[in-house]
Structure 1
Amino acid sequence: MINIAVVGVGRWGVHLLRNFLALPQVNVVAVVDPHADRLAVVQQQFNLDKNILLTTHWQDLQQLSDLTAVAIATPATTHYALVKDALNWGCHVLAEKPLTLEPGECQELCQLADQQKLILMVDHTYLFHPAVAGGKTVVQAGKLGDLRYGYAARTHLGPVRQDVDALWDLAIHDIAIFNNWLGQTPTSVQATGKVWLQSKANTEINHFPSGLADLVWVTLTYPDGFQAYIHLCWLNPDKQRRLAVVGSLGTLVFDEMSSSSPLTLLHGEFERQENLFLPINQSQETLELEKGEPLNRVCNTFVSSILQNTPPTISSGWVGTELVKILSALTTSLNQGGQEICLNGQ
């Protein structure tokens, strides 16, 4: 059995708790949240066993001698200290994205996990979505022809974060998917944005000197010249969760808001007749997907990695580190008014 503590049972952490409670290989031994009322809510919601430690103090976990793992779903600014503590206590860690706000901190945590021979995994839930797995198969099988560009939109009316901006809150999902589908990471990035709601800089978070951007436009440029464009906004009631890759033979669309299927392949290309370009071979293919909750797959993968003592390849700490490097470069671009930033080593 894996004895696990869930740290943070807010909007997302409560779903982690639900999934770990349902896994037969897992024994939830503690729940930590700084708000006592949240602990009371989950205790009643899940009818938690009286032997489960419910505490508002993170350090109380040190008294649990048989603690195997920790799942952390707290604000991003707290991740570094919590993950480092847990690894030093000899615990495997599943951390909510982003791993931290600093690439150097991410690298340090990954190296510490490797040294301790512990699993460090980041909850990039979309990488476990059946539509993302299916989309990667389509793209890498060459069914889109020559890849031309990609685009994504992630908008809604909230939730508005107070620890990170819309870029750090939302972009990581689409960047992770583009990287996964393309099998590569960007060589350069650009970002521009607007601040409306929280214009006063948070002195504790020096990433955001102009405040927390509510709207962000992102451009990612990959080694082969492919570019992806991302629209991010948490101040727009037009809810969109849509990502597409366009090729010479068609477009692959991942649309979470679709009422039929989230993954659709739109076939179509041009035939040239003298000076005209005429569309041909147009059709729409709804792709069948495996069933399953992505977060359940995240939790199962974390547990399997611990039991097999094998780091996960799909969402390891190192994958999380690469994404934080990209986000950090985008923040630099955003703070410089859209300056193109080349990524180190690219």
Structure 2
Amino acid sequence: MTIHIAILGVGRWGVHWVRNFLQHPDTQVIAIVDPFRERLTQCQKQFKLDEQQIILATEWETIRDLKTLDAVVVATPASSHYSLITDALHQGYHVLAEKPLTLNPDECRTLTELAKQQQRQLFIDHTYLFHPAVQQGQQIVKGGKLGELRYGYASRTHIGPIRQDVDALWDLAIHDIAIFNHWLGQTPNRVQARGKIWLQPEKGLADLVWVTLTYPDGFEASIHLCWLNPDKQRRLCLLGTEGNLIFDEMSPTPLIWQQGYVQPQGELFLPAGVSTSVIEVEKAEPLGRVCHEFIKAIQSQQTPSIASAQTATQLVEILSALTQSMQEQGKTITLK
């Protein structure tokens, strides 16, 4: 059965949804919506779209009643997610939404219940959880190869793009928090964040954020987030008693297992057993996997946990608590 899809939003990331769903054997893109006509024109030229077969519209209301429509991809700013997804679910459509699901945990919970009532899939694009390196890394951690876990750290920095609707925390942190939660098999119960604002003080949007996550077993992870740093980093590390696991998206070998320990020698501690192993990772585009799993979820009526609304709600709860911490000058916030 062919799934007929509408894609809402064809900005910097939205065009990748168009590309993937145009190529998917079980889908047909029947409508693309974006408020900026120039984006629609660019998209039409890029993919050589036939307007006789694919509707190009500037408003959701133009296509919301299409009788052949089965599912929508919501690739619009997060502030618009709640109203669009609510309407789409009421119309009886399956929904694939970019992260975060919304900017409010209560809205996430409402959408979760609505999807259940409508018996429709609400599938959230936590892209990195579909990355082959992240999935392989989770198996290594689960297998106990790192020994007793001690701490974790991550850096997600670059010079731009600068968002005007959300700060660096909401723009960047969700990726690393999702990976830490997935690898550890738990969610933090205490969080803390501090930020610095330079570019948009009138909006109160932090350009630099330092995050600390504390998990129920005492494990701590720190995250450095900045969109004003010329040094582009996409690096996450988990360190244990038997070595550490590094996911570095910018490296040609993105998953590395480093082993080593220190040996007492008199009053000194000297490195020993140091070695580095490259973990072989399947070559696959994470976003392509997301598209494939979304279609499978529609066909099977089962959403994988990593894309579920429950997982999405947990992440929004964490981000909301981190925002509260920043607003209260780095106060530690306890999560229920």
TM-score range, shorter chain: over 0.9
Give the CA deviation at 1:47. 1.0
1:280 to 272, 284, 298: 272
Q: Secondary structure at the match of 2:63?
A: helix
Q: Secondary structure at the match of 1:39?
A: helix
TM-score (norm 1): 0.95
Give the CA deviation at 1:93. 0.4
Q: Report the more deviating stretch, 182-191 or 48-57.
A: 48-57
- Provide structure 1 residue ranges, at least 5 long, that are not aligned to the other structure: 202-210
2:139 to 134, 137, 140: 137
- What CA distance in whole angstroms lies between the structure 2 residues aligned with 1:274 and 1:121? 57
Give the CA deviation at 1:140. 1.1
Aligned residue number for residue 265 of structure 1: 257
Write the deviation string for residues 18-45 of structure 1: whole angstroms up to 9, x where unpaired: 0000001001010000001111111111
Please tell me whether the aligned partners of residues 4 and 71 of structure 2 are also in contact (alpha carbons under 8 angstroms).
Answer: yes
Give the CA deviation at 1:323. 0.2
Give the CA deviation at 1:271. 2.7
Aligned residue number for residue 244 of structure 2: 251
- What CA distance in whole angstroms lies between the structure 1 residues aligned with 2:159 and 2:294? 32
- What CA distance in whole angstroms lies between the structure 1 residues aligned with 2:22 and 2:257? 37
- What CA distance in whole angstroms lies between the structure 1 residues aligned with 2:207 and 2:241? 34
**1:117 counterpart letter in structure 2:** Q
Aligned residue number for residue 53 of structure 1: 55
**2:157 counterpart letter in structure 1:** T
Aligned residue number for residue 324 of structure 2: 332
Q: Secondary structure at the match of 1:314?
A: helix
1:292 to 280, 284, 309: 284
Give the CA deviation at 1:300. 0.3
Q: Does 1:13 pair with 2:14? A: yes
Give the CA deviation at 1:115. 1.1
Aligned residue number for residue 319 of structure 1: 311
- What CA distance in whole angstroms lies between the structure 2 residues aligned with 1:309 and 1:138? 30
Give the CA deviation at 1:189. 0.1
Aligned residue number for residue 333 of structure 2: 341
- Structure 1 runs of 4+ aligned residues shifted over 4 Å read none
- What CA distance in whole angstroms lies between the structure 2 residues aligned with 1:22 and 1:262? 26
Q: How does 1:103-182 map to 2 (within 5 A)?
A: 103-182=105-184
- What CA distance in whole angstroms lies between the structure 2 residues aligned with 1:231 and 1:139? 22
Aligned residue number for residue 227 of structure 1: 220
Give the CA deviation at 1:273. 4.2
Give the CA deviation at 1:312. 2.0
Q: How does 1:66-105 map to 2 (within 5 A)?
A: 66-105=68-107
1:305 to 291, 297, 308: 297
Give me the identity figure in percent. 60
Write the deviation string for residues 208-251 of structure 1: whole angstroms up to 9, x where unpaired: xxx10000000000010000000000011110000000111111
- What CA distance in whole angstroms lies between the structure 2 residues aligned with 1:67 and 1:57? 16
- What CA distance in whole angstroms lies between the structure 2 residues aligned with 1:102 and 1:62? 24
Aligned residue number for residue 184 of structure 1: 186
TM-score (norm 2): 0.98
Aligned residue number for residue 34 of structure 1: 35
Give the CA deviation at 1:279. 2.0
Q: Secondary structure at the match of 1:237?
A: strand
Q: How does 1:176-215 map to 2 (within 5 A)?
A: 176-201=178-203, 211-215=204-208
Give the CA deviation at 1:62. 2.3
Aligned residue number for residue 218 of structure 1: 211
